[in-house]
Structure 1
Amino acid sequence: MSAASKAKRIDKSLDITVYEMTDAISWGACGLPYYVGDFYPNASLMVAKTYEEFQKEGINVKIKHKVENIDFKNKRIFVRNLNENKVFEDNYDKLVIATGASSTSPKDIKNLDAEGVYHLKTFNEGLEVKKEMMKKENENIIIIGAGYIGIEIAEAALKLGKNVRIFQHSARILNKTFDKEITDLLENHIREHEKISLHLNESPVEVRTFEDKVIGLKTDKKEYVANLIIVATGVKPNTEFLKDTGIELFKNGAIIINRFGETNIPNVYAAGDCATVYHSVLEKNVYIALATTANKLGRLIGENLTGTNKVFIGTLGSAGIKVLEFEAARTGITEQEAKDNNINYKTIFVDGEDHSAYYPGGEDVYIKLIYNADTKILLGAQLAGKRGAALRTDSLAVAIQNKMTVQELANMDFLYAPPFATTWDIMNVAGNVAK
């Protein structure tokens, strides 16, 4: 919808049609866990622009319409009207594919189709999960998966007074996005709270049911009572319908695009969770499903549809998460990603206060830097703390995007005032420690 809106604003004469499989458009999926946790009461607050508003702008939106196949050679698409279950054809001059991604389900867990097992990816799933979560009798909530969504849903359930268990088959939470120094802090913080427990290195094997309804979960270690189970084990691009069409796909099925948003097929673009994205540090295409990147690329493609040649500067994978009273954020690459890409790197990990010690209410902030061992150029950063951690990451994103060195970071003129920071901000300190 970002591409359609931008293109229409630039050239109002364009004939733009959007086909959407569901009945929900232009909404922010990142808000789902907080809706489920009743942080805000109305799901419509997640909607950026309504169907009626798009129609008024002259963008022809067709909801409940699923594109099932594309003939790129003849510029034809085959669409199923889901209300009538009829297929029809449409033609295009230029095409944008933004089909997003779907939740994955582990194949080695039995009975995941039982009543009481949910995913949290679509708008309607959010409505259903909240409805069930608000029921008093659903006291025991199990989360399978300890990524962003799993952790956020756990906090939502805890806010509603539920008993929460998080299961992760590996040794750490958020293990694909943060390094061990940060996840250790977050795990210790979670363990300080009653009514929530972490089960790491423990693999679910079967959903226990009675009359097809969830009553518990069996793992490779023991059994647990459950009224609801939320599966949050990752996503996969919605590109199955594109196989054997000639469009180039990434190893996970995502559509490969260049920095103009173009695919290998002329006049065909792609963006969002169904597509790859150029990484500024790694200088290659990667798959990172983030709303920020999706919106930026959508807007850029909207401009390029009208004849410009805007180039995407790249993603840094900048992201953050609230973990109970803690906040954590990252940008650039992790230490593991540096290893995986054979980069000669160094790291430092330091802690300090978020503001001057004599001003009340201070909290510790922890920072990890990953930098090139030869050039000293910043490659990645991760921060955590109860306050002042997440938004500091934005400054480090600017530094990484502009290939600053740790020495330059050490001397950056960051804001200082006793309520907000120390004379030498934790970012300055980290730069000084890095050698």
Structure 2
Amino acid sequence: MKIAVIGSTHAGTAAVTNIANLYPEAQITVYERNDTVSFLSCGLALYVGGVVEDPSGLFYTSPEELANLGVTMRMKHDVTNIDTKTKTIEALNLVTGEEVMDTYDKLVVTTGSWPITPPIEGIDYDNVLLAKNYDQANTIIEQTAPVRHVTVVGAGYIGVELVEAFAQAGKEVTLIDGADRILNKYLDPEFTKTVEDELTSRGITLAMNQTVTRFEGKGGKATRVHTDKESFDTDLVIMCVGFRPNTALLEGKVDMLGNGAIKVDDYMQTSNPNIFAAGDCCAVRYNPTGDHMYIPLATNAVRMGTLVARNIETPLLRNIGTQGTSGLHLFGLNMASTGLTETSASLMDVHVKSVTIEDTHRPGFMPTAENVTFKVTFDPATHRILGAQAISKADITQSINTMSVCIQSGMTVEELGFVDFFFQPHFNQPWNFLNQAGLKAAEPERPAMA
């Protein structure tokens, strides 16, 4: 079996490693346009902020290690065309300029995603940077050192993590986003308000509900950022406005969502039976709604890549879908979410109910007890749990992993109220806040007094 793999970050590395172990007789060739593999982009802000001092820890394998498994590694090779009828690949050696032709029996597309770069005047200035791969991280570190003011455009996870890194490095920071609040894709307003208050208390300028219209500069560098409402002086700009799937090679050749994300079945097979896909280039089945959605997370990518290997010869192991579970640590606050929030449900026109618990993470008689805000979203008709969010200075984020399992298994809020959780004063309350949410959601409605 001759297998070609295009791209080798999270999904690609997982696929290649597992295919090589499961099918040692297979002829596997990897095409990668960079000179590294498996960069953990979710650790980019930690690297930029100096928390991770040795960047080698951000790579969980290397081209050499994959080659030792018998894999042919064609690094610095850019695939330029795929002919799905003849099952051939054309690639360009970016070092020598040589054109390479190859064939495959099975093709694995793990081309990932790329930062969105809006058509903004001045976006090509030398100090308007992207934040995705290892080379970009090193450029950010190099250009940040001498500057005083940094502007971050985009208030998602990577954007706010970079804001923290720059602020802790003593920089003046402005955060701009077109939405009316930060992290709006992951958390409801009562949660993001807590985080925004923490940011502004540290002198970070929040410019929400604003769209960047142009960058003004001189000498090849941006010096001022203009939005549709105001403008800001700056020495450096980091663009973090989101990602789009890298799927131009298969456009018109396999089924895709409107944004270009490749549709795969439960066995990671595309509409072409000889092509498998995984990771940020794909849509995934979102369990709270049952629809295919674009959710570019490293966790989804490694699971999907592993499933490609298990199913590439025969469909054996089904993908059980995702809840889009994610977490974040920011300025001492621990927050996480899974499934639908009230905000995302509204955008999808899904009717939900929710309950919120305010408590401390452990009993008041303990020396310290941090406040916890925990919210559960559920279907008002079936009472099936659809989402959860949590925030605290205590690390209670594993509760969201528990809630992810609840959503995936179809648990109701009534069942959540009586799940068997341990109690120990060092860790939690006699009634765990997850139980409390279930009990509160299941309270019968009392008839109005006459």
Q: Same fold (TM over 0.5)?
A: yes
SS at 1:198 equivalent: strand
Q: In the aligned structure 1, how far is the partner of 2:265 from the partner of 2:347?
A: 23
- The structure 1 residue matched to 2:163, chosen from 154, 158, 169, is 154
Is 2:39–2:133's contact at 8 Å kept on the other side of the alignment? no
TM-fit CA distance, 1:233:
0.2
TM-fit CA distance, 1:219:
2.1
TM-fit CA distance, 1:341:
4.0
TM-fit CA distance, 1:106:
2.0
Q: In the aligned structure 2, how far is the partner of 1:297 from the partner of 1:431?
A: 32
Is 1:145–1:167's contact at 8 Å kept on the other side of the alignment? yes
Higher mean Cα deviation, 109-118 or 311-320?
Answer: 109-118
SS at 1:320 equivalent: strand
TM-score by length of 1: 0.96
Higher mean Cα deviation, 252-261 or 348-357?
Answer: 348-357
Letter of the 1:165 partner, please give it. Answer: T
SS at 1:68 equivalent: strand
Q: In the aligned structure 1, how far is the partner of 2:99 from the partner of 2:218?
A: 40
Name the residue aligned to 1:77: 89
Q: Deviations over 1:285-337 (max 9, x none)?
A: 11100000100010011111243421000111000112212121111122233
Name the residue aligned to 1:249: 256
Name the residue aligned to 1:329: 336
**1:110 and 2:121 matched:** yes
SS at 2:279 equivalent: coil
SS at 2:389 equivalent: strand
Letter of the 1:227 partner, please give it. Answer: D
Name the residue aligned to 1:22: 34
Q: In the aligned structure 2, how far is the partner of 1:164 from the partner of 1:256?
A: 39
- The structure 2 residue matched to 1:216, chosen from 221, 224, 243, is 224
TM-fit CA distance, 1:67:
1.1
**1:175 and 2:184 matched:** yes
Name the residue aligned to 1:6: 18
- Aligned-pair RMSD on alpha carbons? 1.3
Q: Deviations over 1:81-116 (max 9, x none)?
A: 111223221100011000000001122x32011121
Is 1:365–1:388's contact at 8 Å kept on the other side of the alignment? no
Q: In the aligned structure 1, how far is the partner of 2:195 from the partner of 2:219?
A: 38
Q: In the aligned structure 2, how far is the partner of 1:226 from the partner of 1:45?
A: 32
Q: In the aligned structure 1, how far is the partner of 2:438 from the partner of 2:231?
A: 48
TM-score by length of 2: 0.93
Is 1:100–1:237's contact at 8 Å kept on the other side of the alignment? yes
Name the residue aligned to 1:125: 136
1:65-104 matched pairs, under 5 angstroms: 65-104=77-116
Is 2:185–2:344's contact at 8 Å kept on the other side of the alignment? no
Higher mean Cα deviation, 70-79 or 298-307?
Answer: 298-307
Q: In the aligned structure 1, how far is the partner of 2:324 from the partner of 2:59?
A: 24
Is 1:350–1:368's contact at 8 Å kept on the other side of the alignment? yes
Q: In the aligned structure 2, how far is the partner of 1:166 from the partner of 1:274?
A: 28
1:18-417 matched pairs, under 5 angstroms: 18-107=30-119, 109-133=120-144, 135=145, 137-194=146-203, 196-244=204-252, 246-417=253-424
Is 2:417–2:437's contact at 8 Å kept on the other side of the alignment? yes
Is 1:353–1:365's contact at 8 Å kept on the other side of the alignment? yes
Q: In the aligned structure 1, how far is the partner of 2:212 from the partner of 2:274?
A: 45
Q: Give unmatched runs, 5+ long, in structure 1.
A: none
- Count of residue correspondences: 430
Q: Give unmatched runs, 5+ long, in structure 2.
A: 1-12, 443-450
Q: In the aligned structure 2, how far is the partner of 1:243 from the partner of 1:344?
A: 34
Is 1:344–1:374's contact at 8 Å kept on the other side of the alignment? no
Q: Deviations over 1:408-435 (max 9, x none)?
A: 1111121211111011111111111114
